[in-house]
């Protein structure tokens, strides 16, 4: 394998939203390919037409685009091994399935769905395999002339792999080391369905071979299928070209008990999909990280640390740094617990880390969604710079900075009115007169003069500073008061003091 160009693939089924575990699989594939100067291939495995969901393929493409994980070859961009949708490669697969039958490694099965259901009900732990295949309707149990007649009549049938008896199959997993399976414990999986479509088992092997995939990374839930795939590589004569495999650890529920699911997200109040997914069949909207207010940089960063570390205490990585530092050897065997609080920490750190210009478009959209149109980009940049340290999710910018664009509609009067006095009213009226004559709007100068006036009037600075904040922003939050004044300007500040005084002095 070492002399071949590295080629990896992500092969999702377009059946719904993209779970964060799926995005992590993309990420590890992508990082490995880029680290080794290779290609990342996106292949759509849409062979199960009964589960196909309209719009799901475009959703997957959009998710990867948002994450910045761009495929070198895909249905969208094409490539030398097109087509990249399995439904468009349908004619390829029967040839290989029939070849397996001819060589005695697979067989035709004519059992109806009703017959199989009857067996499952009557036989505990029924498996279509070595124990029962001779009692069922297939080309191993039926006379050859009857098989020929059934095929000639176009009788619906599937093609199943014939698992050998009493063999041990082994391979070296890049994460788990040496893994072995007993073939007697594996059923005869369907390779080609009655509609002529391949199952995942056949299609993944044929496509990986034809697309010259060198490394196959997938979730550990696929580990039980490995013996079937190993045998297909061998039976089709391609064993020397079989990719190196790595089965990635599961992403676990926050308590560590079981795989993280969509239901867990709904129950615990956090997303498990990369982006919002709307299922037109059920009218169900499943929330995503993007719409909640996560940055793609933070989302990718947190996924990278679920099951991998670089051996240091570093936690924040750019995509380029991840490419440079990634190695499959440092991926853990055990599952990684998902911690939403840690996920939010990553986002807050990335909001701090990114330049103001990298946040501007997203923040502007948040305000637009709230009905606030922002025209002055320079002013917006200054506002973002003032509040970015206080934001965890992108929508927080509206709560933390909305007052920069519109006057408070209401005030935290409980923080002000119980201790309000005529002396304070007089102080602010004097301050309005003083501020109106200011030629400088420097925050430090304004603060010094405000404090001097308070001292002159015999007021403690704390007694007038909190009401001033509430006048400007509506509550007990926001950046340094005089940084706010410096941005708002003296006319707007005076307007807000005058408006608030009416509320503060009302009976």
The burial class, CB within 10 Å (0-12 / 13-18 / 19+), for 180 is exposed
How many Å apart are CA 507 and CA 189, to the nearest integer? Answer: 80
Residue with tokens 């707007």: 492
Nearest Cα to Cα of residue 300 among 331, 332, 281, 322: 322
How many Å apart are CA 51 and CA 75, to the nearest integer? Answer: 19
* DSSP line for 247-288: EEPPEEPTTSSSB--HHHHHHHT---BSS-EEETTTTEEE-B
Q: What is the dihedral of CA 59, 62, 63, 69, to 10 degrees?
A: 140
How many Å apart are CA 169 and CA 180, to the nearest integer? Answer: 6
How many Å apart are CA 161 and CA 174, to the nearest integer? Answer: 26
Nearest Cα to Cα of residue 274 among 54, 66, 75: 66
Known active-site residue 337: no
Tell me, rounded to whole angstroms, the distance of Cα 33 from its chain centroid.
19
Task: For the chain, report the end-to-end CA distance as a whole number of angstroms.
Answer: 83
How many Å apart are CA 254 and CA 264, to the nearest integer? Answer: 9
How many Å apart are CA 41 and CA 84, to the nearest integer? Answer: 9
Per residue in 251-284, is it b (16+ CB within 10 Å) or e — as a string?
bbbeeeeeebebebbeeeebbbbbbbbebeeeee
Question: Which residue among 35, 262, 364, 499 is the active-site one?
Answer: 262
**Which residues are known to be catalytic?**
262
């Amino acid at each position: 394998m070492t002399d071949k160009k590295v080629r990896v693939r992500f092969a999702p089924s377009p059946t719904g939203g993209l779970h964060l575990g799926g995005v992590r699989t993309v990420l590890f594939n992508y990082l490995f390919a880029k680290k080794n100067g290779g290609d990342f291939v996106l292949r759509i495995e849409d062979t199960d037409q009964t589960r196909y969901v309209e719009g799901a393929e475009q959703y997957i493409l959009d998710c990867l685009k948002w994450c910045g994980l761009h495929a070198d070859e895909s249905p969208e961009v094409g490539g030398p091994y097109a087509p990249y949708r399995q439904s468009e490669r349908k004619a390829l697969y029967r040839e290989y399935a029939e070849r397996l039958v001819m060589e005695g490694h697979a067989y035709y099965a004519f059992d109806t769905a009703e017959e199989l259901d009857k067996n499952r009900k009557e036989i505990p732990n029924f498996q279509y395999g070595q124990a029962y295949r001779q009692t069922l309707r297939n080309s191993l149990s039926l006379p050859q002339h009857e098989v020929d007649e059934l095929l000639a009549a176009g009788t619906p049938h599937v093609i199943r792999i014939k698992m050998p008896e009493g063999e041990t199959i082994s391979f070296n997993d890049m994460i788990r080391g040496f893994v072995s399976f007993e073939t007697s414990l594996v059923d005869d999986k369907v390779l080609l369905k009655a509609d002529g479509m391949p199952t995942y088992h056949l299609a993944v092997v044929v496509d990986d071979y034809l697309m010259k995939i060198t490394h196959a990374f997938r979730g550990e839930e696929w580990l039980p299928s490995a013996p079937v795939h190993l045998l297909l590589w061998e039976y089709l004569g391609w064993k020397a070209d079989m990719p190196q495999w790595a089965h990635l650890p599961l992403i676990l529920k926050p308590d560590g008990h079981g795989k993280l699911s969509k239901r867990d997200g709904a129950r615990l109040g956090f997303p498990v999909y990369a982006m919002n997914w709307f299922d037109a069949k059920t009218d169900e909207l499943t929330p995503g990280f993007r719409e909640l207010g996560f940055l793609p940089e933070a989302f990718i960063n947190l996924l990278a640390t679920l099951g991998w570390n670089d051996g240091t205490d570093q936690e924040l990585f750019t995509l380029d740094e991840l490419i440079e530092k990634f190695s499959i050897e440092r991926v853990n065997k055990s599952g990684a617990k998902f911690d939403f609080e840690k996920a939010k920490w990553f986002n807050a750190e990335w909001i701090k880390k990114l330049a103001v210009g990298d946040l501007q478009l997203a923040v502007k959209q948040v305000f637009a969604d709230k009905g606030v149109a922002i025209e002055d980009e320079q002013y917006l940049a200054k506002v973002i710079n003032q509040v970015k340290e206080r934001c965890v999710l992108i929508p927080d910018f509206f709560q933390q900075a909305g007052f920069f664009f519109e006057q408070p509609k209401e005030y935290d009067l409980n923080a002000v009115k119980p201790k309000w006095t005529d002396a304070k009213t007089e102080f602010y009226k004097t301050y309005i007169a003083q501020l109106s004559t200011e030629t400088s709007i420097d925050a430090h100068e304004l603060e010094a003069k405000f404090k001097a006036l308070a001292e002159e009037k015999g007021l403690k600075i704390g007694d007038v500073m909190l009401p001033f904040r509430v006048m400007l922003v509506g509550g007990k939050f926001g950046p340094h008061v005089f940084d706010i004044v410096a941005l708002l300007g003296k006319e707007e500040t005076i307007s807000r003091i005058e408006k608030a005084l009416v509320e503060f002095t009302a009976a």
